[in-house]
Amino acid sequence: MTTPAVEFFNVTKTFDDLVAVNDVSLSLPRGKTLGLIGPNGAGKTTLLRILVTLARPDCGDVRINGHSAIRDPLMVRQMLGFMPAEFGSPRNLNIGEYLDYFGCLHGVSSKERPKRIREVCELTDLTGREQVMVKGLSTGNRQRLLLAKTLLHDPDLLVLDEPASGLDPRARTELREIVRTLASMGKTIIISSHILPDIEDFSDRISIMEAGRLVIDGGLNELRETHASTTRVVRIRVPEADWDRAKKLLGEPAEIESVRERDHFIELSTNAENVNFTLGILLEHDIRVLQFAEDEPSLEEIFMRTTAGKVT
Ligand SMILES: Nc1ncnc2c1ncn2[C@@H]1O[C@H](COP(=O)(O)OP(=O)(O)OP(=O)(O)O)[C@@H](O)[C@H]1O
Ligand SMILES: [Mg+2]
């Protein structure tokens, strides 16, 4: 069996009384993309910082291509590129100088650097902007530059912490395309976000964290099947005169979760076996049911059901 690109073994990290990462184990094969999702404060950044050797866990181990990030941090750093959530780098340079500076820090030789800078600018769509000052960059271009910097030493593993944060819809789509290109080049990618649609369509695996724990970890299809086979989202339309009464009746039984209004429908979640029971309640109380439809939950809905926290 080939060694996975990334393995976490029972990793725990505390800050005083706070358990930021709680006994997390997971593994990612080479060439795959993992989407790490979780609400604010879930522990995503802490977990990624441990992976990229910027933080030490209290216990557990992390291995990259079989090498421990704790025992062998220098070797591990060569294998990965980390794009942090915050831009804390020197800004008084132009894009070309900035990339040259970080290329140098990453050990890319002065002979190799111009070629690598050209390649990463091409990949991140920064070609022709080498003279533009870093200081005045838009958020979109700043995120591209951070990503370009991450790619300079051509690492096999990319660790991207909320790369889409603060981007407008167009910039988000463009970033998604860049990540897709990198995945098709065979890179192993871990990408965190608290916005599920940003990553669900290109992640091979999804790990959901909440309060330091990994609450869901699996292949995307596997995840959908496990949850979709047991859960239904039911959309119901009733005459306006019966609307309040129907909502109240549906809100009472413990079998029905989260009754809400959406686009002139009453929408609720329930287990697959309770769908008929839901319809029965309305019929029993002589409420005319104009429309009744059941659906499998989207990944977003699975996420909301699995984590008690709020997605922002
Ligand atoms: N250096 C630190 N000292 C003390 N507490 C910390 C430190 N770093 C993180 N924490 C705490 O650990 C918890 C997890 O934080 P972390 O930044 O890993 O979450 P996150 O999932 O990345 O959140 P976000 O979505 O807001 O980026 C939070 O409660 C945070 O306040
Ligand atoms: Mg974070």
Q: How far apart are CA 32 and CA 157, in angstroms?
A: 10
User: Angle at which helices 169-184 and 139-151 pack, to 10 degrees?
Assistant: 10
Q: What is the pLDDT of residues 156-205, one digit of tens each?
A: 999 999 999 888 888 888 999 999 999 999 999 999 988 777 787 788 99
User: What residues does 194 pair with on adjacent strands?
Assistant: none
The residue whose two tokens read 């959908």 is 224
Confidence of residue 308 (pLDDT cuts 50, 70, 90): low
Residue among 13, 15, 159 to mutate when testing ligand 1 (max atoms within 8 A of CB): 15
Are β-strands 231-237 and 256-262 bridged in parallel, bridged antiparallel, or unpaired? unpaired
List CB-based neighbours of ion ligand 2 within 5 Å: 44-45
Q: Cα(192) to centroid of ligand 1, in Å? A: 13
3-class DSSP assignment, residue 58: coil
Q: Is 286 left (phi over 0), alpha (psi -120 to 50) or beta?
A: left
Q: How far, in whole angstroms, is CA 171 from its chain's centroid? A: 17
pLDDT given for residue 194 in this prediction: 81
Read off the tokens for 120. 């990463």
Q: Does 55 score more than 60 pLDDT?
A: yes
| pLDDT score, position 47 | 98
Reported as a pLDDT band with limits 50, 70 and 90, residue 311 is very low
Q: Give the distance (Å) from ligand 2 centre to CA of residue 208.
A: 13
Report helix, strand or coil for 196. Answer: helix
Contact between 87 and 100 (Cβ < 8 Å): no
Task: Please report the domains of the chain, with CATH numbers, ordered by start residue.
Answer: 6-225 (3.40.50.300), 232-306 (3.30.70)
What pLDDT is stored for residue 310 in this prediction? 37
Decide if pLDDT at 69 tops 50: yes
% of the chain beyond a pLDDT of 90: 66
Quick one: tokens of 123? Answer: 């990949």
Nearest CA to ligand 1 atom 29: 41
Tokens of 78: 């060569």
Q: Supply the pLDDT for residue 306.
A: 65
Distance of alpha carbon 176 from the chain centroid = 12
What residue ranges line ligand 1, CB within 6 angstroms?
15, 18, 20, 38, 40-46, 194
Residue 127 or 307, more confident: 127
**pLDDT at residue 229 greater than cutoff 80:** no
Nearest-CA residue for ligand 1 atom 31 is: 41
Is residue 290 pLDDT above 60, yes or no? yes
Dist CA 53 CA 69 (whole Å): 6
Query: Residue 148 in contact with residue 120, Cβ under 8 Å?
Result: yes
The number of angstroms, rounded, from the C-alpha of 124 to the middle of its chain's C-alpha atoms is 20
In the structure encoding, which two tokens stand for residue 154, read together? Answer: 């051509």
**Ligand showing the shortest atom-to-Cα distance for residue 42:** 1
